Each structure stands twice: as C-alpha cells, then as structure tokens.
Amino acid sequence: MMCQSEARRGPELRAAKWLHFPQLALRRRLGQLSCMSRPALKLRSWPLTVLYYLLPFGALRPLSRVGWRPVSRVALYKSVPTRLLSRAWGRLNQVELPHWLRRPVYSLYIWTFGVNMKEAAVEDLHHYRNLSEFFRRKLKPQARPVCGLHSVISPSDGKILNFGQVKNCEVEQVKGVTYSLESFLGPRTYTEDLPFPPAASCDSFKNQLVTRKGNELYHCVIYLAPGDYHCFHSPTDWTVSHRRHFPGSLMSVNPGMARWIKELFCHNERVVLTGDWKHGFFSLTAVGATNVGSIRIYFDRDLHTNSPRHSKGSYNDFSFVTHTNREGVPMRKGEHLGEFNLGSTIVLIFEAPKDFNFQLKTGQKIRFGEALGSL
C-alpha cells in the first residue's frame, strides 16, 4: 500500500519541484522590482498589468501567488497619456480632407453616433473642410426654440446624469458617486469680484456660495455624447464675473466611466465660469474629456486649454470685473457661450429659492433651449 501511494505521489512531487524553481526565479525578479524607483517600477509593471487584464482565464494570476500585484484598473487608465492623445486628435481634426473623402468620412460618423444633419445650418457634407468644422457645425435658427416660460433652460443637447439639491457639500456625478463641491469649484479666494474669506469648513464653503437667506444650492449635470450638438449656450440671464481654469486630466466622462472613477470631474480639465443671476450665485462649468481638450469660451480670448505643460492641482484665475467694467460679462438666456471639439459635460451649480423645481428625469435626453426648472 505504501509503495502504491508513493508511486501515485511521485508525479505530484516531481511537478511541485518543477514549479518550485520558476517561483524562486519570479521572487528574485519581483524582489529586484521592489528595489527600483517608483517611476521605473511603474514602467516595468505596466506591460504585465495590461496582459493580466487582457489575457483570458486569468493566465497571469499565478503571479499573485509569488508576491506580484497588478495595478488597479483605475490607476492603469489614469496612466494613459490622454492629454497627449487629445492634442494629437486635435491636430488630426484640423487636417483638411480631400473633397472626395468628406462624404464617406462624415457619413460614417453620422451613422455611428446618430447625428441629425437635417438640423444643421449647412446640410451639404462637402462644405465642412475638416472634422473640426463638422464637430462645431451650427444649427438652423428654428431647430432649437428657447423656452421663455422657465427661469433655467438646458445650455446644450445631452443626457441628464443627475440633478437636485447640493447636500453635505457634495455633488453627484452619477447616482451614488459623489465629488467634493470645493474640489470641483476650487477654493474661494479674496478678490475684488469675489469678496469671500477662506472657507474654514465644508458648511462654511457652501454658505459662502448661498448669498441670500432662504435659498438653497442646486446642481445639474448634462453629458454631451459625440453625436450631440457641441456648442453650449447661456442657461439663463446672468452676469459672468470670474473664470477659473483647471488644467487637469482628460479622461472619458461617459456615464460608465463616471460610475467607475470617483471625483472624475475634479480630475479632468475644466473651465468654471461664476457670477450672479437674479437669485444669487450662478456657475457653469465646462468639463473636458478624452479628445476634447479644446474648450472655447467665445468672449474669453485669453483662455487656452490642453496646453503641453501644467502643474497637477493648479488653476488659473481671470476676472472679467475691471475698473472700466464693474459688473462683468452680461449673458442673455440662449446666447452663444462656447463650444467643445467633441462630446463632454456641462455642470450647473446655482442658488435659488427653496421652491425651485426641476422638471427632469435622470437619464432623459434633453436639447438646448428646453426647460430644466423654474420657481
């Protein structure tokens, strides 16, 4: 009996010995990796991580038994040079297409993203010399009537990701995933047009934004898909007094990615416009995304987005209030405000009386000019 059991265990022992040596070798290699600097370690472990997630049936999972741990999917995605890719895409968009190639290229885009060219001011596809002109196409005047009965309208075409009151100084980018209001808008600094002292706590920061007694702070997040109309307009009558530019990452902002990465909107490049409307504080933020490094504000010629070099966590302030213009830039409801080069996200944060009501449903499609809410 003993001989039979030893005979049976013979192949298992030989297999264990055969596996023992590669594991020792792997441990040595992983020990060498652990002694490397962090940038070099990330560079060396990155290909293994990609293979770990791409290969079927967990082909590289035995590596975890010898001490190796893959980089998380979020960290892996954040390491992709999205700013560089977006600048390359922007250069490609500026290349003039041959006349014979324009119709097939644009027709493929129209079919892929469901673009309605009957609304375009110019329906002839040969009119658009490059992809950039096609993305920024204008609409016919009657294509988007502006609702005059409601106090706040949609500034763009898109999909409603979330809306409601701001609670606990946090805003929902999608259901159940929040980000810090102060991280998104940036700290309130003492300037001529924003005379607020530095915030001591979350509640005090919110109280700085709510300037009138009995008002509440509200938000609305609108996602622009690649097939949507890419210009955005003024959602109400208000005055823009300040611009803050955050030169951050350019990760995708589609709803699936917004559920995956916490505080996605705080990581991405964005342009925050702040000012006042008839009920107090009002802000509109244009959030950049992959291949959408170019955010343009029509009245702000000094704004340059997706620059090659930037400091992480930095921001640039610009005041539209000057000694000759004490109020800022007045905007009328529905007036052209800016544009993206592709799809992206618009975030509205504003104060209003407690009886302000949104007339929306999460996930619904909306078009520029349609009502968001009113008193």
- Residues annotated as catalytic are 157, 233, 344
Report the alpha-carbon distance of residue 80 to residue 76 in Å, rounded: 7
1 alpha carbon, distance to own chain's centre: 69
Check: CB of residue 243 under 8 Å from CB of residue 272: yes
Check: CB of residue 218 under 8 Å from CB of residue 164: yes
Look at strands 280-287 and 345-353 and give their pairing: antiparallel
Tally Cβ neighbours within 10 Å of residue 142: 7
Which residue type occupies 140? K
Check: CB of residue 106 under 8 Å from CB of residue 129: no
Which residue type occupies 47? P
Burial 237-268 (b: 16+ CB within 10 A, else e): ebebbbbbbbbbbbbbbbbebbebbeebbbbb
Sign of the four-CA dihedral 7, 11, 16, 22: positive
Torsions phi, psi of 336, nearest 5? Answer: -60, 130
